Structure 1
Amino acid sequence: MGSAASTEAVQKEVAAKNVEEIAAALKELPADQLSKIKEAVTAGAAATPCPGPVDCSKVKVVAKDYKGLMEQPKEPKFKGALCQIFVRSQPYGGSDKSNNGHRYDSVPFANGMITSGMSCQLIHYTHEEHDAFFDMCKAFNFIIVRCNPGQIKADGGDQQKFDDSMRTLRKAGIQIWPSPDVMEKMGAKDALCKVATMNIGLEDTLAYYSTEEFVTGFKKTMAFQPRVIKQNRGSSGEGIWIIKLKDGNYCKEYGERSCEDGEKLSLMEANDNHEEEHTVAEFIEFCVSGRSDKSGEWTSKGVGKYLEGGKAAGGQLVDQRFCPRIVEGELRYNLIVDSLIGIIHKKPKEGGISAVGGTGSTYTYYGPEEKLFESLTTNFLKKDLPHVMPALDLAEEPVPLWWTTDFINSSPEGTKPEDEKWIVGEFNCSCVGISRCLAAYCKDDTPSASFDDISEEDKAEAKKYGDLMGEKALAILSK
Structure 2
Amino acid sequence: MDTERQSSPLRTIAILSRGDAAARREATAQNSRFVRVFEALAAAGIDAFPVIYDESFASAVRDQLLTADGVLVWVDPIHQGKTRAELDGLLRDVAARGPWVSAHPDVILKMGVKEVLYRTRHLGWGADTHRYDSAASFHNQFPARLRASGPRVLKQNRGNGGQGVWKVEALPDRQGMVRVLHAQRGSMPEDMPLDVLLARCEPYFGWGGCIIDQAFQPRLPDGMIRCYMSGAKVAGFGHQKIKALIPPPPEGPEAPEAQPGPRIMHGPDAPQFQALRGAMEDEWTPQMMTTLGIDEPSLPVIWDADFLYGPKDAAGADTYVLCEINASSCFAIPEEAPAAIARTVKQRLMRIESPQAQG
TM-score bracket for the superposition, by shorter chain length? 0.7 to 0.9
Give percent identity, aligned residues only: 22
1:407 to partner: Cα distance = 0.3
> Secondary structure of 2:160's match?
coil
Residue-by-residue CA offset, 1:190-234 (whole Å, 9 max, x unaligned) = 1111111111112x3111121111012212311221211112344
Partner of 1:467: 339
RMSD (Å), alpha carbons: 3.6
Q: Secondary structure at the match of 2:204?
A: coil
Pair 1:212 & 2:145 matched: no
Secondary structure of the structure 1 residue equivalent to 2:246: coil
Instruction: Give 1:175 shift.
Output: 1.1
Q: Which amino acid aligns with 2:349?
A: L
Report the CA distance between 1:347 and its aligned residue.
Answer: 1.6
| 3-state SS of paired residue (2:148) | coil
CA contact (8 A) 2:76 2:84 kept: no
5 Å matches for 1:114-129? Answer: 114-125=42-53, 127=55
Distance 1:80 1:93, change over 3 A: closer
Query: 250, 256, 260: which is aligned to 1:361?
Result: 260
Secondary structure of the equivalent of 2:190?
strand
Paired position in structure 1 for 2:329: 431
Q: Which residue of the partner structure matches residue 238 of structure 1?
A: 163
Report the counterpart of residue 357 of structure 2 in structure 1: none
CA distance in 2, matches of 1:350, 1:423: 16
Q: CA 1:409/1:273 → structure 2, altered by over 3 Å: closer, same or farther?
A: farther
Matched letter for residue 328 of structure 2: S
CA contact (8 A) 2:237 2:266 kept: yes
Give the conservation status (yes or no) of the 8 Å contact 1:105–1:433. Answer: no
Structure 2: distance between partners of 1:373 and 1:469: 20
Matched, 1:277 2:191: yes
Partner residue, 2:93? 168
Residues 34-433 of structure 1 mapped to structure 2, 5 A cutoff:
76-88=9-21, 93=23, 104-125=32-53, 127=55, 130-131=58-59, 133-150=61-78, 159-202=84-127, 204-225=128-149, 226-247=151-172, 262-271=175-184, 272=186, 274-288=188-202, 305-307=203-205, 309=206, 313-348=207-242, 352=246, 359-363=258-262, 364-395=264-295, 398-412=298-312, 416=315, 418=317, 420-433=318-331
Instruction: Give the C-alpha shift of residue 268 in structure 1.
Output: 2.2
What amino acid maps onto 2:216 in structure 1? F
Distance of aligned partners of 1:367 and 1:141 in 2 relative to their CA distance in 1, 3 Å threshold: closer
SS at structure 2 position matched to 1:469: helix
2:259 partner amino acid = G
Other-structure match for 1:69: none
Give the SS at the match of 1:394: coil
Residue by residue, what CA displacement relative to the aligned partner does 1:106-141 show, whole Å, maximum 9, x if unpaired? 322223222222222223346565445434533322
Shift of 1:375: 2.2
- CA separation of 1:383 and 1:269: change in aligned 2, threshold 3 A: same
Task: Tell me the TM-score normalised to structure 1 length.
Answer: 0.62
Q: Which amino acid aligns with 1:362?
A: G
Q: Tell me, what secondary structure is at the counterpart of 1:165? A: helix
Contact 1:270 1:353 (8 Å CA) reproduced: no
Contact conserved, 1:84 with 1:103, CA < 8 A, in 2? no
Q: Which moved more, 1:372-381 or 1:391-400?
A: 391-400
Residue 396 to residue 160, structure 1, CA distance change in 2 (3 Å): farther
Residue 403 of structure 1 deviates from its aligned partner by: 1.7
Kindly state the Cα deviation for residue 382 of structure 1 after the two structures are TM-superposed. Answer: 1.0
Structure 1 range deviating more: 377-386 or 224-233: 224-233
Q: Look up the match of 2:356.
A: none
Whole-angstrom distance in 1 between the partners of 2:135 and 2:9: 53
- Provide closer, same or farther for how the CA distance between residues 329 and 146 of structure 1 changes in structure 2, counting only shifts above 3 A: closer
Per-residue deviation at 1:170? 1.9
What amino acid does structure 2 have at the position aligned with 1:121? F
Contact map agreement 1:244 1:266 (CA 8 A) in 2 = yes
1:323-377 CA deviation, whole Å, 9 max, x = no partner?
A: 11112221111222233233222224599269x9994122344442333333222
Contact 2:231/2:300 (8 A) holds in 1: yes
TM-score of the aligned structures, taking structure 2 as reference length: 0.80
Going from structure 1 to structure 2, the CA distance change for 1:348 and 1:106 (only over 3 Å counts) comes to closer
Q: Verify the 8 A CA contact 1:105 1:434 in the aligned structure 2.
A: no
Q: Which amino acid aligns with 1:80?
A: I
Higher strand share: 2
Structure of greater Rg: 1
1:100 deviation in Å?
6.0
Query: Is this contact kept in 1: 2:156–2:208, CA < 8 A?
Result: no
C-alpha contact 1:81 1:121 (8 A) present in aligned 2: yes
Q: Determine the C-alpha separation between the residues in 2 that align with 1:106 and 1:353.
A: 34
Q: Give SS of 1:139's match.
A: coil
In the alignment, structure 2 segments of 5+ residues that lack a partner are 1-5, 352-359
Query: Residues 177 and 353 of structure 1: is their aligned pair in 2 closer, same or farther, counting only changes over 3 Å?
Result: farther
